Amino acid sequence: MSQIFENKLKSLNITLTEEQKQQFVKFYELLVEWNKVMNLTGITEYEEVNEKHFVDSLAIVKAIDINNVETVIDVGTGAGFPGVPLKIAFPHLKVVLLDSLNKRINFLNTVINELGLTDIKTIHGRAEDFAKQADYREQFDLCVSRAVANLATLSEYCIPYVKKDGMFVPYKSGEIDEELEQSKKAVHILGGKLENVVKFQLPGTEIGRSFVKIKKVQNTAKKYPRKAGLPGKEPIC
pTM value is: 0.97
Residue range 98-124: mean pLDDT, rounded: 98
Question: Is residue 67 one of the residues assigned to a domain?
Answer: yes
Residue type, 79: A
Q: What pLDDT score was predicted for residue 202?
A: 86
Residue 156, pLDDT above cutoff 90? yes
Do 193 and 165 contact (CB within 8 A), yes or no?
no
Name the residue range of residue 91's domain: 3-219
Q: What pLDDT score was predicted for residue 175?
A: 86
Domain tally, the chain: 1
Q: What pLDDT score was predicted for residue 229?
A: 86
Question: Is residue 94 one of the residues assigned to a domain?
Answer: yes
44-79 residue pLDDT tens:
999 999 999 999 999 999 999 999 999 999 999 999
Question: Is residue 224 one of the residues assigned to a domain?
Answer: no
H or E element at residue 63: none
Alpha helices in the chain (DSSP H): 3-10, 18-35, 46-49, 56-58, 83-89, 102-115, 127-130, 151-158, 177-189, 230-233
Residue 205, pLDDT above cutoff 90? no
Instruction: Using a pLDDT cut of 70, give the percent of the chain over it.
Output: 100
Question: Is residue 121 one of the residues assigned to a domain?
Answer: yes
